[in-house]
A and B are shown apart, each in its own frame.
Chain A
Amino acid sequence: MKQAIKAAFPFTVPVLLGYLSIGVAFGLLFENAGYNFIWAFFMSLVVYAGAMQFIAVSFFYGGIGLIQIAVMTLLVNIRHIFYGLSLLDRFSVMGKKKWYMAFALTDETYSLLCSIKAPPDVDEKKFFFSVAFLNQSYWVLGSVIGSLAGSLITFDTTGMDFAMTALFIVIFLDQWKAYSTHIPALLGLGCTVLALLIAGPDSLVIPAMVLIVAALMLTRKQIETKITDIIKKEDKEL
């Protein structure tokens, strides 16, 4: 196992940098909402979903129903369903570890696992597990550091939650470049603005998502003519 972790580490360095910085930002925001490092540690341990944990911070200020939280989680993370599809064979030989691998299938881990191979002298199952495990440790570590730093910070943190908006803009731009068609991205923006105008800011997610799925189905023909050369790479999302 030690050997596998050693072999996996160099591949995970880009994720180390990304997860530490965004984990720290999450820890800070969570601390601001009144949740100390034990909460941050626990949430990063059992949830382990970057973008979702950022959004979830707003749930802890109250006023959002559990059903809306469940629906929001479903919508934000629905993309993960498709990640497993391309890793069915490679995980199926991993026994019980398969379920940890599925649990740990974040955007970064997914894109790493799809793009790397174990060195010849290392067991592939242990290598994959090490990649997934290292990545989650970075995330947990980052959120705990952020949380601890947050309790020491005395300056005005108003506006720091803009980090979440910034994260989504960054992912949006990366996907914009990776996709051969921009129709889905534009539909996402357009449908949500429409939902905002119709339903207002407090309950926009469900109408937005219904509109998006409907619009994607209506434009399926146009999109599918271009989809054959969609680049599979889903960049730098968390």
Chain B
Amino acid sequence: MSLSFSESLLIILIIAVITFALRAAPFVLFSGTGTTPKLITYLGNTLPPAVMGMLIIYCLRNVSILSAPFGLPELIGVVTVAGLHLWRKNNLLSILGGTVIYMVMIQFVFT
């Protein structure tokens, strides 16, 4: 553990409180059926895929494509996950397969 007990606990509680607040917000704000502002509905529909795109880049943010190995292990990992997923549509297989290939790449191939 690089953080103290109380720092760790605080992080978990912050995440818990904000997540719950978001999930509970509609039940607090709209007690009946309703009149959600159209902009909110629009963002609600379009944000999920945009945020997933953001999260992928976020995960790869520290990859350097200008110095060896030029992001090749990550590229191979991403292609493996996407390929497996388009082929078999099995979440577990795609995640496991891509992760194992990536681990082999950075531990044995691009060392």
Contact = CB atoms under 8 A, between A and B. Distances in A.
A binds B: yes
Interface of A: 17-18, 21-22, 25, 33-35, 39, 42-43, 46-49, 51-53, 55-56, 59-62, 66, 69-70, 73-85, 88-89, 91-92, 98-99, 102-103, 105, 156-160, 162-173, 175-176, 179, 182-193, 196, 201, 204-205, 208-209, 212-213, 216-217, 220, 223-224, 227, 230, 234, 236-237
B85 A47 contact: no
B26 A81 contact: yes
A83 B99 CA distance: 30
Contact of B11 (A60, A105, A163, A230): A60
Interface string B33-64: 11010011111111111111111111111100
Residue of B74, B77, B81, B85 with most chain A CB atoms under a 10 A cut-off: B81
B48 to A, nearest CB: 5
14 contacts: A46-B13, A73-B14, A79-B48, A80-B23, A162-B98, A165-B78, A169-B98, A184-B46, A188-B49, A189-B53, A192-B53, A193-B57, A205-B54, A205-B58
The size class of the interface chain B forms with chain A is 35 or more
Contact of A46 (B16, B51, B78, B95): B16
Contacts of A55: 55, 58
B26 A85 contact: yes
Contacts of B50: 184-185, 187-188, 191, 212, 216
Contact of B49 (A103, A179, A205): A179
Nearest to A181: B46
A22 B53 contact: no
A168 B5 CA distance: 30
B106 A158 contact: yes
B66 interface: no
Nearest to B48: A79
A43 B92 CA distance: 22
Nearest to B1: A34
A105 B21 CA distance: 11
B68 to A, nearest CB: 17
A169 B47 contact: no
A168 B56 contact: yes
A192 B54 contact: yes
A162 B3 contact: no
A188 B57 CA distance: 9
Interface in B4-42: 8, 10-16, 18-20, 22-27, 30-34, 36, 39-42
A213 B98 CA distance: 31
Listed from nearest, the 9 A-B pairs whose CB atoms lie closest are A188-B53, A84-B26, A188-B50, A82-B44, A34-B1, A192-B57, A159-B103, A165-B59, A185-B49
B2 interface: yes
A103 B23 contact: yes
Residue of A82, A189, A212, A227 with most chain B CB atoms under a 10 A cut-off: A82
A177 to B, nearest CB: 9
B23 A173 contact: no
Contacts of B18: 70, 73-74, 77
Contact of B15 (A73, A165, A170): A73
A163 B85 CA distance: 14
A169 B30 contact: no
